Amino acid sequence: MKHPLLDYLRREILPTTHCPGCGCGQVLNAFVNAIDDLEIDPKNIISVTGIGCSSWIPSPYLKCDTLHTTHGRAVAFATGVKVIRPETNVVVIAGDGDLAAIGGNHLIHAARRNIGLAVFLVNNYIYGMTGGQVSPTTPFGTVTTTTPYSNAEYPLRIAELVAAAGANYVARWTTYHIRKLIGSMKKALQKTGFSLIEIVSQCPVSYGRRVGLRDGVAFMQYFKENSVGCKKAASMSEGELEGKIVVGKLIERDRIEFSESLRRINEGVKREE
Ligand SMILES: Cc1ncc(C[n+]2csc(CCOP(=O)(O)OP(=O)(O)O)c2C)c(N)n1
Ligand code: SF4
Ligand SMILES: [Mg+2]
């Protein structure tokens, strides 16, 4: 029997190149479910990715126009696409290294401008594709390829940073919270302005083996046991939140979207001419 969502995928290149137990497949599954629920024609989606395992989630599997760009520059390319094609759903999917490290400033300023992108940041706590180097979201004390004696840096709370920068919608979920994640993706796709979902995901190969989480099931158990909802987290101390993953909607607001601002300014200038 054919899977009902298979029509969204380029079947000639299946099965996936992702490792067994990787969270990237769950993110793709959630995304396809979200666009199917919303009845969005993939012809009206442009996906933009950087470089990394997470950037392979839509590209080349999803049957939509795709820009597979350079490492750290997905948001910059996507900004250009959205300004020229404001009617299109422009979706960025990339990793924590791509969006929070080399691409960090693009992300912050796109949120500040409130350009209408849906950004799905797949946070697997590591540079997965290149063999497990430390990333800005790697937990304190973790042994990685580039921190062989322990990570001396604290992780960036990237979703909170993007919320503070001015995005219209920000949420965080894990690959364990798949129904919540689908609902949140639908919200992000429908929301005008900049949306970001930080998706805490698993890389059993480059990260999990270093922290004793060797397969996808172990990660699901870990995410289930260590996630705390936003409302409960608000009444917890910093110490109590140590090692916890705060999930849920972080912010929702309705500031004007950047390409709409540009359009209004252009119309005003034309009227004066
Ligand atoms: C300018 C540049 N610097 C470094 C690299 C090497 N590189 C490719 S992917 C990657 C990191 C991938 O990590 P992340 O974005 O978290 O994606 P993941 O593989 O974990 O999904 C790096 C450093 C590159 N391709 N280009
Ligand atoms: S290296 Fe990690 S992130 Fe990359 S495909 Fe394998 S499990 Fe997934
Ligand atoms: Mg990563």
234-260 tens-digit pLDDT: 999 999 999 999 999 999 999 999 999
Q: Among 16, 130, 202, which residue has the most ligand 1 atoms within 8 Å of its CB, making it the best to mutate?
A: 130
pLDDT grade, residue 169 (50/70/90)? Answer: very high
d(CA 175, CA 162): 20
Query: Which pLDDT score, from 0 to 100, does residue 16 have?
Result: 85
Q: How far apart are CA 202 and CA 178, in angstroms?
A: 13
pLDDT digits (tens, 9 = 90+) for 31-57: 999 999 999 999 999 999 999 999 999
Question: pLDDT confidence of 123, banded at 50, 70, 90?
Answer: very high
Say if residue 7's pLDDT is above 80.
yes
Cα separation of 128 and 206, whole Å?
A: 5
Enter the pTM of the model.
0.97
Distance (angstroms) between ligand 2 centre and the Cα of 206 equals 7
Instruction: Give the binding-site residues of ligand 1, using a 6 Å CB cut-off.
Output: 51-54, 71, 94-98, 122, 124, 126-130, 135, 203
Percent of the chain, pLDDT > 70? 100
What's the chain's average pLDDT?
96
Nearest CA to ligand 2 atom 1: 128
Question: In sequence order, which residues have a C-beta less than 8 Å from that of residue 266 and are 6 or more positions away?
Answer: none
Q: How remote is the CA of residue 29 from the centroid of ligand 3, in Å?
A: 18
